[in-house]
Copies of this chain bind each other. A is one copy, B any other.
């Protein structure tokens, strides 16, 4: 085997446990609470089929859809997204929107745009593993965003950042139904985050991957909406960069997401998009625009109902089957419940036993921490198994934990 000499950053690149676990889903008989991918039952297959056909059966549209196109993305889709952002309290125009290949690509672009090795990225603990993978290629130092009652001063972040020769470049948050915890930041916590970012003069990356899937509680304003309101309604003076996606509402298979931000930032990201892959598939963008315009509201409604039932089933099963000493979150939306196991329980060990002895899979929580903590946690997704499987799988898992604890 030939191993060439790689860049120094290549040392830090490693496979995602979650992605490796995705392969387990293919094993028959496993009840999987891993993954965190949407239920394919919800994909609007007929509408997607009709949209492709409508474009490809028209000679002129087909010639356009199958050609190279502009890096910033298909203008009608950017306009739809701008009006969607307006409904979130963010007065955006198409020039504030860049189309990306899923919001994962947006995170990768933001690492590239902001991080010089030694700079600091503020992230929650635990946080989305894919974000850590995207940022880590640019060799940041990580520091931890505190919980709502943070007791660290802005100066303490700045001083710690200076020790590696850089500064705090951004704070990354998943404010609604976070991956992996399912928790939602309060309005007060969002405002506190904005105040912190102002003190540190850094941007905020708002990863809104799950925000549309709310099925309980009250809507909390987007961090970007709160920041724009502080600036007299001018998005172009906001320090918040919003990453959205159609993956959880329509389908992840077309790989279409977006960034909404001040124009100077969008222009920089457009140059990065050009250098990285020229443009996202135009035909896919055109299909998503047709779908969004025709079915977004009803898709969201259907998906929310669907996942609410499954969340309810999982919460009931956890209550029924988990031994004392196990606690969990109660998400108001999204796809995840976060479980804390008794101190002496190790999520990795439990997973091995869960697969072989109970035919149940989940993601051990340690993977979502940058500091090696969280060994006694796990992430459960209720998106794929049906209610009966959820009851069955949680019962098996509860029994296993009772014997392990």
A322: shortest Cβ distance to chain B, in Å?
Answer: 29
B10, B22, B105, B275: which contacts A133 (Cβ < 8 A)? B275
Which segment of A79-87, A263-271, A295-303, A393-401 sits at the interface?
A263-271
**A169 and B255 alpha carbons, distance in the complex (Å):** 32
**A40 and B275 alpha carbons, distance in the complex (Å):** 23
**Cβ of B262 and Cβ of A2 under 8 Å apart?**
yes
Interface residue total, chain A, C-beta cutoff 8 A:
92
**Cβ of A253 and Cβ of B278 under 8 Å apart?**
no
Which segment of A111-119, A209-217, A329-337, A359-367 sits at the interface?
A111-119
Q: A68: which B residues are within 8 A, CB to CB?
A: 22, 37, 247, 252-253
**Cβ of A102 and Cβ of B40 under 8 Å apart?**
no
A320 at the interface (CB under 8 A from B): no
A228-258 interface (Cβ within 8 A of B): 236-239, 247, 251-255
A352 at the interface (CB under 8 A from B): no
Given contacts A2-B239, A238-B2, A278 and B102 within 8 Å (CB-CB): yes
Which segment of A44-52, A186-194, A304-312 sits at the interface?
A44-52
B22, B130, B247: which contacts A70 (Cβ < 8 A)? B22
Which segment of A12-20, A171-179, A342-350 sits at the interface?
A12-20
Closest Cβ neighbor of A69 among chain B residues: B253
Q: A130: which B residues are within 8 A, CB to CB?
A: 275, 278
A220 at the interface (CB under 8 A from B): no
A272 at the interface (CB under 8 A from B): yes
B63, B247, B284: which contacts A284 (Cβ < 8 A)? B284
A70-101 interface (Cβ within 8 A of B): 70-71, 100-101
A57 at the interface (CB under 8 A from B): yes
A386: shortest Cβ distance to chain B, in Å?
Answer: 15
B239, B276, B280: which contacts A134 (Cβ < 8 A)? B276
Q: A65: which B residues are within 8 A, CB to CB?
A: 253
**Cβ of B49 and Cβ of A63 under 8 Å apart?**
no
A282 at the interface (CB under 8 A from B): yes
Interface centre among A70, A102, A253, A262 (most CB of B within 10 A): A253
Q: A284: which B residues are within 8 A, CB to CB?
A: 281, 284
**Cβ of B56 and Cβ of A13 under 8 Å apart?**
no
Interface centre among A8, A53, A62 (most CB of B within 10 A): A62
Closest 4 CB pairs of A and B: A66-B253, A40-B63, A49-B56, A133-B275
Identify 29 residue pairs between A and B in the complex whose beta-carbon atoms are under 8 Å apart, listed by A's number.
Answer: A2-B237, A2-B238, A5-B202, A6-B114, A7-B113, A7-B119, A7-B169, A10-B268, A15-B271, A15-B274, A37-B67, A40-B62, A41-B63, A43-B63, A45-B62, A46-B56, A52-B53, A66-B253, A66-B254, A68-B247, A68-B252, A108-B276, A133-B275, A136-B275, A255-B280, A276-B276, A277-B277, A281-B284, A284-B284
